[in-house]
Amino acid sequence: MSMMVTAIQAIEWCTRLLAVYVLIDSAEKLYNHRAFRPGGFFGWAALRQHLFFASRPLPVRRLLDVLFDFRGWMALLLLRGLSGIALLTLPHHPVFGTAGLLIVFVAGSLVNFRQAPFGAETENRFALALTGALLLRSLVPTQLVTEVCLLFIALYTCVSYVTAGVTKWVDPAWRKGEGLLEVIHSPDLVPLERLAAFFRRYPGAGRALAWATIGIECLFPLALVAGPPFFWLFLIWGIVFHLTIAVVLRLGKFFWVWVATYPAIIFIAQ
Amino acid sequence: MHQPVTATEIFVICLLAGWLLLTILYALFNRRVAAITRRYDLFRWLSAYQLFSTTASDYRLLYRDQLTDDSMTEWTVISLTPVWKPWHLLWFPQKLVTHTIHSLADDLVTGLAKRKGTTAAAKINERFLYRALQRYVQQQPCTPGLAGRQFRIDKLTGLPGSPEYSEAFISNFHQP
């Protein structure tokens, strides 16, 4: 029995895993609907006064008033969530698949735009690159574009890991092995006293883990050239790494968007 | 037999190659081009994934009320760290607001430290992040006879295992 993953299967699983992120993120934002009401923390009435929006031409501001006001925003988030369901269940459907990716891409871009005064969410920025590539492939579904799309996703993921690894490496705290301990000892990031106590008792374990993180992040592109079965080691590390982050740091959405790229890495690496 | 590459395919390949190239350039020079990307990359399609390269400080947000009889209430701490639960792995909507508050507090404290003694520091209460924090604090439960409310940001300064906080910022009183 062949274990080879075809390009179509890789696209399908990238789309499905991305859809899980879209569903969770849209549902979490809809759950926080009170914060988006007029007078709420993310309410448009206050946000529209920010220079980032107030300096736009009048027709743009009028459009934003419709899109970003409570009702428009909830409708857009709902549409994004429904598109997530369509992508999860019918990733290859010629209409729902393409329309779903288009809506997720446009809505995701608007999420970043509306959130700009507070800072865009990293996981959404990553998801947009993945969605953009899948959307282009859905519009031009030839064999060549499909393979280039998977190559783009795989390389983009490698760039993200290498950037994360190198920036840790040049940071003095991480180089001394203290970076990870700083994260673990931050009650805001990791409110798990027992875990913090363990690393206070065994700081060497924290330092070793910090260097392992830097090393594997920097070397991750080897997954694309190491060939089978070695590339699986990088992917297993990635799944364990993101799962740990999801559990300990409560950044569960990072898991879905980064792991959503793994089918593309498998296709390129096999 | 290979089929000829179409113009549409070349266009899509160029788009993806351009996006990847710009991402790499942004990762290398993001600080230098920040002003340009803030202005032109409206949808934040470019990103540098410098995750946890520097750890943000820990803060807590507090408020107190001035009552109509001029007395003050005690400081009330607003928790920015929801208690850890296993399902946060999949479902953690509380993070949306608390994480943003934390980022705003960090931006306000670090921004003030950089601009200490300048006009910009004196006008901090006109800035969006100050007003966003104030709006959040004003939404906390009301004390009967409330005349004004003030908020404070404390920064974690203690050693790991023995947390201590020191005052990093204190606001004016604002009417409800």
Closest-approach residue (CA) in chain A for B26: A163
Beta bridge partners of B17: none
* Contact between B91 and A163 using a beta-carbon 8 Å cutoff: no
Does any CB of chain B come closer than 8 Å to the CB of residue A186? Answer: yes
Closest-approach residue (CA) in chain A for B29: A163
Closest-approach residue (CA) in chain B for A142: B9
* Contact between A189 and B55 using a beta-carbon 8 Å cutoff: yes
Does any CB of chain A come closer than 8 Å to the CB of residue B44? Answer: yes
* Contact between B53 and A152 using a beta-carbon 8 Å cutoff: no
Distances (CA, A) of A82 to A87, B66, B126: 9, 47, 39
Closest-approach residue (CA) in chain A for B94: A32
Q: What is the pTM of this model?
A: 0.94
Does any CB of chain A come closer than 8 Å to the CB of residue B7? Answer: no
Q: Which residues of A touch B24 (CB under 8 A)?
A: 159
State the smallest CA–CA distance between residue B49 and chain A in angstroms. Answer: 5
- Per-residue pLDDT of A8-42, as tens digits, reads 999 999 999 999 999 999 999 999 999 999 989 99
- Per-residue pLDDT of A231-267, as tens digits, reads 999 999 999 999 999 999 899 999 999 999 999 999 9
pLDDT computed for residue B71 by the predictor: 92
Split at pLDDT 50, 70, 90, the class of A2 is low
pLDDT in tens, chain B (176 residues): 577 999 999 999 999 999 999 999 999 999 899 999 989 999 999 999 888 766 667 889 999 999 999 899 999 999 888 888 999 999 999 999 999 999 999 999 998 888 777 777 678 888 899 999 999 999 998 888 889 999 999 998 866 667 788 999 999 999 87
State the smallest CA–CA distance between residue B127 and chain A in angstroms. Answer: 9
* Contact between A186 and B58 using a beta-carbon 8 Å cutoff: yes
Q: Which residues of A touch B128 (CB under 8 A)?
A: 49-51, 117
